[in-house]
Amino acid sequence: MKKESNLKRLLRYAGGYKYLTIASWILSALSALAALLPFVYIWKVIKEVLDVAPNYKDVQDLSHNGWMAVVFAAAAILIYIAALICSHLAAFRVQANMRTKAMHHIVALPLGFMSGSGSGKVRKIVYESSAATETYLAHQLPDKANALATPVGLIVLLLVFDWRLGLLSLLPVAAAFVIMSVMTGKRMRKKMEEYNNALGQMAGEAVEYVRGISVVKTFGQSVFSFRRFKEAIDNYEKWVIAYTKDLRFPMMCYTMLVNGIFAVLVAAALVMTSGGVTNEFLLNLMYYIIITPIITLTLTKIMYASENKLIVADAMSRINSILEMEPLPETDHPKHPKDNSVELSGVSFRYKDAKRNALENISLTVKPGEHVAFVGPSGGGKTTLASIVARFWDVRDGSVKIGGIDVKEIAKEELMDTVSFVFQDSKLMKTSILENVRMAKPDASREEILKALHDAQCDDILEKLPQGVDTVVGAKGVYLSGGEQQRISIARVMLKNAPILILDEATAFADPDNEAKVQAAFSVLAKGRTVLMIAHRLSTVTGADRIVVIRDGKIEDTGTHGQLKDKDGLYAEMWRQYNKAAKWKVGVSNA
């Protein structure tokens, strides 16, 4: 089956506005033809002047021809403006529809999609790729229609007055067109993809470098301490220099040919007038020298339109990489959990493109109201295990059940109401604290929100803010620490009141004071709920009903803190190392 072109796909996003896009092409083409007519009247002006010379008082139609040139020039501008109005209206609609469709699709994708792809990368795809299509539709396509219509009219004008000079004008154009085709062909498409990849990698590493700038300054390190960022810059530099050198010679030849048409005409004129010059030949030569710069402008427009076509092709490919991702299947006959128990049976899971399973044959039952902590080495599968309970992804083998019902058979909305997730790096929206908390329950009253904030130990945060709960986070210099943001996120979870709570290293970025308040908030939040806790600070899990030790995607041991610390195993070793690190102090030499 023939693959649908990118232009057709763009026009599908336009809906009824696609007719404005088509209208913009027609108007732009008409503008190009109208812009050539002034040159006809300029030819008439020159002809009349040469015919009556030196008796210039005998001119009759000079004023008329001059004004007609002005009228058609003005008409060409007005028609082109109308074309741009049509193209912009359609382009803005395409951009809006593309972003809307992409965001609606992202919402339907599994929750693990964003954590796996990265918010920065997804944002770049959705916003920058759609912006590239807007520029293409609003400017490049009308210009391309203009540039394609211009040669049609030009060929007529070049051959009508003196076909010999006309053909000589077209020879450099034909050579330049061949060079341009080489520069903007299939090879360029691959180069454009490489360029966007290199640029995206450098932008991503730059964000990571900025986030870690405090470490660089504290320890007096240079950019070289961030090897990946420097490598990204070096790779981009190598690509740009190699690409520039690769196109240097063909671009020089192209520029020389399109700007040297007049030189060909002058050389031809010297040969053709060796026997004498007539007024008619001089008139045509002057006319061709005046009109041929349009060829240069036209070819340049076509070249840039071809380059932007490649940019759009890459942008569409990136947008489609999101749209082609399949959402998790939804059941037509949803079932309702009977309680807030969690059961995993023979669960195995592997991330896309990974070489081995992140989880291997996991079986675990968590009773309603039980508090279970997951501990183990980094990368062992703790977060993955907790994530599949909330159906961030679907398991490869086995089943995950909540309240005796497979999570695949629970409606998405009900599953989200059943499970709450507190991440280690909670995010707040740029709106008031009240609205940030209300996101968990849109119909919540002000009193309910204030109670949730009180239970989450947020009273001290509200007291120091200028507008209290109505303070907009991130505006006018109002920023919160990581621990403070975490407490507000806990208030949000409290308001949601879900029966199952997943805590993913929730005190990782809290200072001691904030950690104590976060722990106090958790003690209130956890009452009557099933809690799955992921932690590296073993002091936070000593009170758990059960501790599950996970290593290399497998459950290595289970038990209470007292049972595991006295047993010869991984947890006992982790506990010894944790206490050793906690007692370690910086020694001061008396020397």
Give the position of tokens 């679907």: 394
- Give pLDDT, residue 91: 87
Q: What is the pLDDT of residues 86-128, one digit of tens each?
A: 999 988 888 888 888 888 777 777 666 655 555 556 776 777 7
SS3 492: helix
> What confidence score (pLDDT) does residue 112 get?
65
pTM of the model: 0.60
- Find tokens 């001290």 and name the residue: 460
The amino acid occupying position 295 is I
Neighbours of 392 (CB within 10 A): 19
Phi-psi region of 277 (alpha: psi -120 to 50; beta: other; left: phi over 0): beta
**Res 77: pLDDT:** 93
Looking at CATH, the fold of the domain delimited by 6-323 is given as ABC transporter transmembrane region fold (1.20.1560)
Looking at residue 271, its pLDDT comes to 76
Fold observed for domain 342-581: Rossmann fold (3.40.50)
Specify the pLDDT at position 588.
45
Q: What average pLDDT values come out for the chain (591 residues) when binned by 10 residues?
A: 68 83 91 86 80 74 86 93 92 85 77 59 72 79 81 73 74 76 66 70 67 55 62 79 79 78 76 71 73 72 66 76 77 88 91 84 91 88 86 87 91 87 76 89 90 88 87 75 82 88 68 70 82 82 89 90 87 84 54 42
Q: Taken in order 441, 387, 545, 379, is the CA torsion positive or negative?
A: negative
**Spans of all domains in the chain:** 6-323, 342-581
| pLDDT of the residue at 590 | 46
The Cα–Cα gap between 549 and 571 comes to 7
- Helix 279-291 and helix 18-52, axial crossing angle in degrees, nearest 10: 150
Beta strands 342-349 and 500-504 are unpaired
Output the pLDDT for position 117: 56
The pLDDT assigned to 86 comes to 93
Distance of CA 6 to the CA centre of its chain: 18
Measured in whole angstroms, the distance separating CA 94 from the mean position of its chain's CA atoms is 16
**Residue pair 466/421 in contact by the 8 Å Cβ criterion:** no
> Which SS3 state, helix, strand or coil, does residue 336 take?
coil
Helix axes 512-525, 446-455, angle to 10 degrees: 120
pLDDT digits (tens, 9 = 90+) for 256-291: 877 777 777 777 777 777 767 667 777 777 777 777
